[in-house]
Structure 1
Amino acid sequence: MDLYEHQARELLEEHGIVVPKAEVTDVPQGAREIARRLGGRVVVKAQVKTGGRGKAGGVKIAADPAAAELTARQILGMDIKGHTVRKVMVAEPVDIEREYYVSYVLDRATGRFLAIASAEGGMDIEEVAATRPEAVARIPVDPGEGVTTARAAEIASAAGLPPQTVDVLVRLWDVLVREDALLVEVNPLVRTVQGRILALDAKVTLDDNARFRQTRWGDDLAALDDEGDALEAAAAEKGLNYVKLDGEVGIIGNGAGLVMSTLDVVAGCGARPANFLDIGGGASAQVMADGLGVILADPGVKSVFVNVFGGITACDAVADGIVQALETVRLTKPLVVRLDGNNAVRGRTILDAHRHPLVEQATSMDGAARRAAELAHAH
Structure 2
Amino acid sequence: MLLIEADGKALFRDYGLVVPNGVLVTERGGLPASLPGPLMVKAQVPAGGRGKAGGILRCADTAAAAGAVDRLLGTSLRGHAVEACLVEPVASGRECYLSVMLDAAAGAARITFLAEGGVEVESQAASLGPEATRLCALDATAMRMALEAVTAGLPPLEAAAIRQAGQGLIHLFLERELMLVEVNPLFLTVESCIAGDAKVVLDLNAIHRQPALEAMILARPRLYADACRKLTEGFDYVELDAEGRIGLITTGAGLSMMLVDELVARGARPLNFLDIRTGQLRGSPARLIRVLDWIAARPSVRVLFVNIFAGITDQREFAMLLAEALAANPVRGVPVVARLVGNGAAEARAALAERRPDILLFEDLEAAMARAAALAA
TM over 0.5: yes
Assess if the C-alpha contact under 8 Å between 1:84 and 1:227 holds in 2: no
- 2:287 is matched with 287
1:153 CA drift (Å): 4.0
- 2:12 is matched with 12
1:323 CA drift (Å): 3.3
- What residue ranges of structure 2 are gaps of 5+ in the alignment? 153-157
Q: TM-score, normalised by structure 2?
A: 0.72
Of 150, 168, 171, which residue of structure 1 is paired with 2:145?
150
For residue 308 of structure 2, give the secondary structure of its aligned residue in structure 1: strand
- What are the equivalent positions in structure 2 for 1:1-379 lying under 5 Å apart? 3-33=3-33, 36-37=34-35, 39-81=36-78, 83-94=80-91, 98=95, 100=97, 102-105=99-102, 107=104, 111-115=107-111, 122-123=118-119, 128=123, 133=126, 135=128, 140-144=135-139, 146-154=141-149, 165-178=162-175, 180-191=176-187, 197-204=193-200, 205=202, 207-212=206-211, 214=212, 221=216, 224-230=219-225, 233=228, 239-247=233-241, 248=244, 250-259=247-256, 262=259, 274-282=272-280, 285-297=285-297, 305-331=305-331, 337-348=338-349, 354=356, 356=358, 361=362, 363-364=364-365
1:209 CA drift (Å): 2.1
Distance 1:67 1:265, change over 3 A: same
Cα offsets for 1:169-221 (capped at 9, x unmatched): 3331122123x132343252345698974322113327412234x3xx7x955
Assess if the C-alpha contact under 8 Å between 1:240 and 1:291 holds in 2: no
Cα offsets for 1:139-195 (capped at 9, x unmatched): 5432235544431244568xxxx96745543331122123x1323432523456989
CA distance in 2 between counterparts of 1:155 and 1:209 reads: 34
CA distance in 1 between counterparts of 2:99 and 2:371 reads: 37
CA distance in 2 between counterparts of 1:328 and 1:20 reads: 50
Amino acid at match of 1:306: V
Q: TM-score, normalised by structure 1?
A: 0.72
Assess if the C-alpha contact under 8 Å between 2:74 and 2:83 holds in 1: yes
Highest Rg: 1 or 2?
2
CA distance in 2 between counterparts of 1:122 and 1:304 reads: 42
1:88 CA drift (Å): 1.6
1:42 CA drift (Å): 1.0
Distance 1:346 1:116, change over 3 A: farther
Cα offsets for 1:77-120 (capped at 9, x unmatched): 3334554433221112245764536242372x665444466677
Distance 1:297 1:233, change over 3 A: farther
Amino acid at match of 1:209: H
Cα offsets for 1:19-46 (capped at 9, x unmatched): 333222323434252xx43x32211112
CA distance in 1 between counterparts of 2:118 and 2:361 reads: 41
Amino acid at match of 2:84: K
Assess if the C-alpha contact under 8 Å between 1:263 and 1:273 holds in 2: no
CA distance in 2 between counterparts of 1:5 and 1:374 reads: 40
For residue 43 of structure 1, give the secondary structure of its aligned residue in structure 2: strand
1:76 CA drift (Å): 2.0
Residue identity (%): 26
- What residue ranges of structure 1 are gaps of 5+ in the alignment? none
- 2:155 is matched with none
Deviates further, 258-267 or 64-73: 258-267
Assess if the C-alpha contact under 8 Å between 1:236 and 1:242 holds in 2: no
Amino acid at match of 1:68: A
Amino acid at match of 2:209: A
Deviates further, 71-80 or 220-229: 220-229
Please give the root-mean-square deviation of Cα atoms over the aligned residues, in Å: 4.4
Cα offsets for 1:3-22 (capped at 9, x unmatched): 43223213223434333332
Give the paired residue count: 359
Deviates further, 90-99 or 166-175: 90-99
Assess if the C-alpha contact under 8 Å between 1:105 and 1:184 holds in 2: yes
Distance 1:221 1:250, change over 3 A: same
Amino acid at match of 2:7: Q
CA distance in 1 between counterparts of 2:266 and 2:141 reads: 38
Amino acid at match of 1:11: L
Amino acid at match of 1:281: G
